Amino acid sequence: MERRAIDVHGTVQGVGFRPFVHALATRLGLAGFVTNTGSAVSIEIEGDRDALNAFERDLRTSAPTLAHIESVTVRSVAPVGEPGFQIAVSRTAGVVALSIPADVATCAACLVELFDPTDRRYRYPFTTCSDCGPRLTIVTGAPYDRAQTTMVGFAMCDACRREYTNPSDRRFHAETIACPACGPRLQALDPSRRVVDGDPLAVAAALIRAGGIVALKGLGGFHLACDAANSDSVAALRTRKHRDEKPFAIMLRDLHAVRDLCAVSDRECELLASPARPIVLLRRRTPRSAEIAPSVAPDVDRLGVMLPYTPTHHLLVDLIGDRPLVMTSGNRSDEPIATDNDDARSRLAGIADLFLVHDRAIHVRCDDSVVEDMGSSTLFVRRSRGYVPAPVRLPVEIDEPVLAVGGQLKNTFAIARGHHAYLSHHIGDLDDLRALAAYERDIELFQSLLAVRPQVIAYDLHPDYASTRLALESDARVRVAVQHHHAHVASCIAEHGLDGPVIGIAWDGAGWGTDECVWGGEFLVGDCRRVERAAHLRYVPLPGGDRATREPWRMAFSHALDAGIDPFVAVPASIPKAAASIVRQMIERGTNAPLASSVGRLFDAVASFAGVRHISTYEGQAAMQLQALASERGDTGTYEFDVEPGTPRRVDTRPLIRAIVADVVAGRAPSVIARRFHSTLAAAAVRVCEDIRTARRLNTVVLTGGVFANAVLSVEVTRRLACEGFEVYRHRTVPPGDGGLSLGQLAVAAAVMKEGR
């Protein structure tokens, strides 16, 4: 007889791992126990050598689908001769690792029960098991046990207790186990907070069919739902939510409904139906997409689509029938989503006609994730519910924990320990005080879950970011300032575990440069430790600063003036000439007109020149419309551009602007201009990279920054660079935009600490 102590690290809590170990040990006739600890699942197993070897093999190869094993350590210990195998009480002493899994969509077995009239959980909106249900959003501490979740207040009934303690049951040690007799309950409330009689879901479905708007409490927060085919309902939601044109996501009942509305690949179907259940950006299929109200996603060629992922969603769409549902975040524009019942009834008053609430608390606010299939990889537009808190492995191990506070927009923060970076869910823009409060609270929660209090903090150079202020006001022993675009490049390097210097193309809307100009069209050379600015787009004034991001015509005016063209040709008739004259004075006098190399703002200028968009109602709107137009065309050639020598080199945009204006004057279709513009940017990227390769002997390129969320541009730049023999890396684990900044900040801080600077 032998006895072995085994520690399993990774995502192994809350995924049915202990029941799996129990079943495996019992099948092999082995004795011992398994328990959760703060840092691992710990096993002591006793029996004959062959059975123990079989146990170790199957432990590694047959783990539950949701488990992710990072390491297994085994050591011999003295046999004790105990009978049987047990699941022991969790131990919390020692180092804690955040091995809590992400929230998981309702599994197939629970769905069968949900719609089986003979099952005791028939149509119960909180049906879960060891393989599905809430995880991160309800956790209050580690290790992941019921006592450390918001389920702690729901005492199991006798029937649930029997399932929970039965090794052969699917709910054996399922911490979210519940049923109608003992679990959370759903209520329908009218705007005056009175309970509405009848089945809550039936009441909600009837109201949606009648054109109303429902606030629905989901896993990580509230949704606002209405009939996506009802133009009046969608218009009412936009008016009440103060969301003029930014696309809404829709929920469809199944993949058959998705295929009717969208052109969808096998890979996109896999993403839609995965346990994470993200919103997937899909190309519309005509004419069936006409069934969706045009105001759901105006002027863009993609729909954000998701499938139901909680029992409540499944039951609601079943009652609605074949009608598509708008399923958008439960907030007013730019606020964080509501999570608390009282907060939702207060903040969503005047928006929702009905509130569908329940009494299971949401402890961690978590927006829906948004992804897009890029063919060879998945692009994360927003990494949140369903994926967080799965760690990202850092290329450099750090000796002490580090907190990276991210940026101002699309914020995420991250904590690093050892080789692992734990990125937060999507926090959002920190301009809103509620978002800032949630940000600070969630940093505290992650520090608690990881049992760390980092004394090293990494932050953006921008002095006015709320995250920067938090870092500078902290009591951290070491502060590491990281230039915005260096963080973007380091983020992609860290994702892929690259070693050695790279060419980093970092294109976005804006980032604080080391020369105090607004950067955004950068070619950097280096690694996580340090970078040099090898090239950038030519500087042009940004008249009005942030206001120029909302008024693309300002950038068209600025680029026209820079290119030697009468700038008033860029001013649409809807813009008062007096306003344009003021903008000209700002540029000529250098008043509130910082210099910018931004590719994002160049997109704005081209959109305005082409008559596509002069005023934006949300970030990136002009660029999204240009992308949609570009995707309608095949190759239309490129415009002229020049690369000026120097250190750093400069991509001269003036020939490009003059050629675009000439096409506009000649009456060229906006789709032709859009496609040619995308191809010109790709050609410029290749030209500069070839120059850098000649000078620096570098052949590895990383593409990063929010501009590379543009599928047309990202694919074409990748293809052109690969054709010239470059090794190209794109983001696949975190967003290319500011949602991935915190990972890059961690990678830079880790490299700096390792170097001793």
CATH number at residue 279: 3.90.870.10
Q: Tell me, what CATH number does 746's domain have?
A: 3.30.420.360
Nearest C-alpha neighbor of 110 from the set 92, 130, 90: 130
Contacts for 596 with CB less than 8 Å, ≥ 6 apart? 510, 517, 518, 519, 520, 539, 540, 541, 542
Q: Does residue 446 sit within a domain?
A: yes
Is the dihedral angle over the CA atoms 62, 66, 70, 76 positive or is it negative? negative
Based on the fold, state whether residues 432 and 294 are members of the same structural domain: no
What is the predicted pLDDT for the residue at 98? 60
The yes-or-no verdict on residue 614 having pLDDT over 90 is yes
Distance CA(25)–CA(278), nearest Å, equals 36
* pLDDT of 58 higher than 90: yes
Output 14 or 501, whichever has higher pLDDT.
Answer: 501
**Confidence at residue 95, expressed as pLDDT on a 0 to 100 scale:** 47
Q: Residue 321: is its pLDDT beyond 70?
A: yes
**Residue 247's closest CA among 262, 263, 266, 228?**
228
Q: Is residue 270 part of a domain?
A: yes
94 pLDDT above the threshold of 60? no
Could you tell me how far CA 2 lies from the centroid of its own chain? 47
Name beta bridge partners: 729.
Answer: 702
Taking residues 440-469, what's their average pLDDT?
Answer: 93
Q: Are residues 354 and 401 in the same domain?
A: no
Domain stops at, among 60, 87, 114: 87
Residue 264 lies in a domain: yes
Q: Which of 194, 83, 174, 99 is nearest to 143 (CA)?
A: 99
What is the Cα–Cα distance from 615 to 538, expressed in whole angstroms? 24
Task: Indicate the average pLDDT of the chain.
Answer: 93
Q: Is residue 171 part of a domain?
A: no
**Distance in angstroms (rounded) separating the CA atoms of residues 36 and 149:** 15
Q: Give yes or no: residues 215 and 272 share one domain.
A: yes
Instruction: Write out the DSSP string of 523-579.
Output: EEEE-SS-EEEEEEEPPEE-TTTTHHHH-HHHHHHHHHHHTTS-GGGGS-TTS-HHH
Residues 307 and 207 in one domain: yes
Q: How far is CA 600 from CA 528, 593, 597, in A?
A: 24, 16, 9
- Both 317 and 410 in a single domain? no
In a domain, 612, yes or no: no
Residues 328 and 472 in one domain: no
The structural domain count of the chain equals: 3
Q: Among the listed ranges 142-151, 304-313, 483-492, which one has the minimum average pLDDT value?
A: 142-151
Going by pLDDT thresholds of 50, 70 and 90, the confidence category of residue 93 is: low
d(CA 619, CA 634): 27
Mind listing the pLDDT tens digit for each residue in 567-612? 988 888 889 999 999 999 999 999 999 999 999 999 999 999 999 9
399 in the same domain as 346: no
The reply to whether 136 falls in a domain is no
322 and 423 in a single domain? The answer is no
Q: Do 349 and 416 share a domain, yes or no?
A: no
The residue out of 41, 66, 87 marking a domain boundary is 87
CB atoms within 10 A of CB 154: 21
- Residue 92: pLDDT band (50, 70, 90) is low
Q: Is 512 helix (H, G, I), strand (E, B) or coil?
A: strand
Rg from Cα positions in the chain: 27
Residue at 534: amino acid letter: A
- 346 in the same domain as 215: yes
Residue 150 CA to residue 173 CA, distance in Å, equals 16
Say if residue 272 is in the same domain as residue 344.
Answer: yes
Choice among 86-90, 174-178, 438-442, 538-542 with the minimum mean pLDDT: 86-90
Whether 545 maps to a domain, the answer reads no
Identify the domain containing residue 472 by its residue range.
390-490+740-752
Q: Positive or negative, the Cα torsion across 28, 29, 34, 39?
A: negative
Residues 200 and 293 in one domain: yes
DSSP state of 30: -
Q: What is the C-alpha to C-alpha distance for residues 33 and 43, in angstroms, rounded to an integer?
A: 6
Last residue of a domain, one of 87, 102, 121: 87
Q: Is residue 46 part of a domain?
A: yes
Question: Please, which pLDDT band fits residue 290 given cuts at 50, 70 and 90?
Answer: low
For 545, phi then psi, to 5°, come to 60, -125
